[in-house]
Amino acid sequence: LLRLLQINNGVFIRLTYATTQMLQIITPYAAWGTPNLKTVKELIYKRGYGKVNKQRIPISDNRVIEETLGKYGIICVEDLVHEIYTVGPNFKVANNFLWPFKLSNPTGGWATRKFRHFIEGGDVGNREDKINALVRRMN
C-alpha cells in the first residue's frame, strides 16, 4: 500500500487516520514528514518517473504527463507538482502515476545509530518539517 519496496525509496501519501496508523507500524524502519513546495518540486523534476503502460518512463517533457493525466486536468509538470503539494481532488491518480522515488544515501551518511527514533538522535520516525533537509541530502 505504501509502495516502499526498496531501501531509500520515497513516496507521497495523503495523511489520514489509516495512513497515520500504517506509518506508526513502520516507524522503526522509515522516516517521514511534511515536505515543502521546494522539496516536492525538486523531487519530481530531478527524480520523477511516470508509470505509463506499467513501465517506468522519465518525466522529461510534458507530453508524457498530458497523454496519461490530461483527462484529469493535469497537463504539465507544474500541474503535477501543484496536485501533489496541495493534495487536490486528483491526488490519488497523480500519485499513482508517479513511480516511487529512488533516492541515494544521504550526503554525510545516516546517523551513527540509524534505527533510533529521530527524537533520540537517530534518523527514523516523524521528522515533521525537517524531512526537507534529509530529502535534500538524499536527492
pLDDT tens-digit readout, 42-76: 999 998 899 999 899 998 888 988 998 999 999 99
pLDDT tens-digit readout, 2-35: 888 888 899 999 999 999 999 989 888 888 999 9
> What average pLDDT does the chain have?
88
pLDDT, mean of residues 89-104 = 92
Residue 57 backbone dihedrals phi, psi, to 5 degrees: -115, 130
Q: 12: how many CB neighbours lie within 10 A of its CB?
A: 17
pLDDT reading at 37 higher than 90: yes
The pTM for the full model equals: 0.85
**Model confidence at 113, in pLDDT bands (50, 70, 90)?**
low
How far apart are alpha carbons 20 and 17 in whole angstroms? Answer: 5
Specify the pLDDT at position 112. Answer: 63
